[in-house]
Amino acid sequence: MISRTCAILASCCVITLTACSGGTGPSSGEAAISSMTTSSNEAAPDNSTYENEEWGYRFRLPSNALLDETSTKFPDSFGGTHLVQFTYAGNTYEVRGVRTDNHENIEQWLQDPNTQKAGKLSEYDKTIIDGNPAYQWKQGLITTFMFDDVVFEISGSEEGAMTVSSNRNDAIFQEFVSSFQMIKN
């Protein structure tokens, strides 16, 4: 059995999820609660925090979002490794990552004709994610940034759509991006 473990942290408890494939246990794509530690009798907050130690990041998500670490809605949209996605109110939000040693910064990567996102910086609005320059695509919910040698793509799609959403006012996506932090080692 192959398993990966992540933690969803909340002020009232820590829930450890394990996604499994092969052998016994949950089927691929499902997350099982393998442990839960309660620290108080407080009600669960509206948001939880997802943390991925392997790739070194964390972000807030709605506490009742459906978390999936094994599948991807956009298999060809980035060319990187699918890291995690969550579904909330029918909409899907995703993080992908690709390691690169050929680019010194995100601007070079976005403009490189050998990457799937090659284009002009004028197609993006510049922003910041955890102190790192980032670029929000003007036509939809895709934000891209680089940390160390990894390019991260954060995206969102509306219910039933197989492409990214063009609704740049999506409050869940805005919270997802604004809460995205790199874990400092």
DSSP string, the chain: -EEEEEEEE-SSEEEEEEEEESSSSSPTT-EEEEEEEE--SPPPPSEEEEEETTTTEEEEEETT-EEESS--S-TTSSSSEEEEEEEETTEEEEEEEEE-SS-SSHHHHHH-TTSTT---GGGEEEEEETTEEEEEETTSSEEEEEETTEEEEEEEE-TT-SS----TT-HHHHHHHHT-EEPP-
For 117-152, the pLDDT digits (tens) are 667 888 899 999 999 999 999 988 999 999 988 999
Q: What is the pLDDT along the chain (185 residues), one digit of tens a residue?
A: 233 334 443 333 333 332 322 333 333 333 332 222 323 333 334 679 999 988 899 999 998 999 888 765 554 455 667 788 899 988 999 998 888 888 899 999 888 888 766 678 888 999 999 999 999 999 889 999 999 889 999 999 887 676 778 887 889 999 999 999 999 65
Overall pTM surpassing 0.85 (yes/no)? no
Residue-level pLDDT at 162: 66
Instruction: Enumerate domains of the chain plus CATH numbers.
Output: 47-182 (3.40.1000.10)
Residue-level pLDDT at 49: 93
